[in-house]
């Protein structure tokens, strides 16, 4: 009886899953087709000629190792700093009161009112004048502060009763230890969620690295991948293969943090 009632929803979910799987499967299988097969009619899911030529060309043409390292440095450093800074700031906003903190909170919230693209020219001027043009720090520093992360931590810390802090203070715990040893461990789920998102944002970031990085030795993966798109032609088979290669680290990361990512249902409406 129970299985019978669950049947329609199970079917719907399978259909939905198939719908999501379809473009991904097509993408993956297309990367194994030769260039002459990509557009030929009738379109087939499975390659008629299986080939890894696109992968070989992509691997030889691009210094993937260098790009992986650059992107990893940017994503990891930014993520670590974002989580630390967001946790501290969110904690301060939730647990301390002062007129300037309230004002500062409004300032932070105000940064979400402007699309990132709008402030890019001024951000660029600032980064350039700081001497960070064409450095990885130039893409790391402006990305550390995210209103989303701060807000996530603030909301979370607000739900933790003040009595917990008071008890700790009575036991003689200093403010810094209170934050590090008691509050931060409590906020671990938020930290993990923010870390996952931040990593993903930075990994896929395109427009800002494009503006800041000049030297190909410092290119991130996404900027390097774009160079396959020429003036009038796109080398599709190389682009497909290179995109598949660039996905691998994200897939590995997903496999490791699957449980945390799936429970991170606060994704909706977030802004990086």
The answer to whether 47 touches 32, Cβ cutoff 8 Å, is yes
Judged by beta carbon, residue 113 or residue 231, the one nearer other proteins is: 231
Minimum separation from the CB atom of position 40 to other proteins (A): 5
Judged by beta carbon, residue 120 or residue 261, the one nearer other proteins is: 120
Judged by beta carbon, residue 54 or residue 244, the one nearer other proteins is: 54
Q: What is the dihedral of CA 161, 164, 167, 171, to 10 degrees?
A: -150
Residue 29 φ then ψ, to 5°: -70, -35
DSSP state of 37: G
* Strand, helix or coil for residue 234: strand
Judged by beta carbon, residue 136 or residue 193, the one nearer other proteins is: 136
Minimum separation from the CB atom of position 4 to other proteins (A): 46
H or E element in which residue 148 lies: helix 147-158
Minimum separation from the CB atom of position 57 to other proteins (A): 9
**Tokens linked to 157:** 């810390």
Judged by beta carbon, residue 47 or residue 266, the one nearer other proteins is: 47
Minimum separation from the CB atom of position 208 to other proteins (A): 11
State the residues that interact with other proteins by CB under 8 A: 34-41, 61, 73, 77, 81, 84-85, 88-89, 92, 95-98, 101, 124, 128, 131-137, 140-141, 144, 162, 166, 169, 175-176, 179, 210-212, 214-216, 218, 226-237
The angle subtended at Cα 200 by Cα 194 and Cα 201, nearest 5°, is: 85
Minimum separation from the CB atom of position 67 to other proteins (A): 13
Minimum separation from the CB atom of position 77 to other proteins (A): 6
Among 18, 35, 55, residue whose Cα is nearest residue 242: 55
Three-state SS annotation for 172-232 = CCCHHHHHHHHHHHHCHHHHHHHHHHHHHHHHHCCHHHHHHCCCHHHCCHHHHHHCCECCC
Judged by beta carbon, residue 210 or residue 264, the one nearer other proteins is: 210
């Amino acid at each position: 009886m129970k299985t019978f009632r669950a049947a329609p929803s199970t079917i719907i979910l399978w259909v939905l899953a198939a719908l999501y799987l379809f473009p991904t499967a097509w993408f993956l299988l297309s990367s194994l087709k030769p260039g002459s097969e990509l557009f030929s009619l009738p379109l087939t899911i499975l390659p008629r000629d299986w080939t890894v030529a696109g992968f070989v060309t992509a691997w030889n043409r691009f210094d993937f190792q260098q790009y992986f390292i650059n992107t990893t440095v940017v994503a990891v450093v930014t993520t670590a700093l974002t989580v630390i800074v967001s946790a501290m700031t969110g904690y301060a906003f939730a647990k301390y009161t002062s007129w300037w903190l309230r004002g500062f909170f409004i300032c932070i919230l105000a940064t979400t009112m402007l699309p990132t693209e709008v402030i890019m020219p001024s951000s660029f001027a600032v980064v350039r004048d700081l001497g960070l043009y064409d450095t990885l720090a130039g893409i790391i520093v402006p990305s550390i502060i995210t209103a989303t992360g701060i807000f996530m931590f603030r909301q979370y810390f607000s739900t933790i009763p003040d009595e917990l802090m008071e008890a700790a203070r009575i036991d003689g715990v200093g403010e810094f230890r209170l934050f590090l040893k008691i509050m931060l461990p409590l906020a671990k789920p938020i930290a993990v969620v923010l870390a996952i998102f931040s990593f993903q944002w930075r990994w896929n970031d395109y427009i800002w690295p494009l503006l800041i990085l000049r030297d190909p030795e410092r290119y991130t993966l996404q900027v390097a991948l774009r160079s396959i798109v020429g003036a009038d032609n796109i080398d599709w088979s190389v682009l497909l293969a290179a995109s598949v290669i660039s996905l691998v680290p994200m897939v590995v990361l997903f496999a490791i943090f699957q449980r945390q990512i799936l429970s991170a249902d606060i994704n909706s409406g977030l802004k990086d």
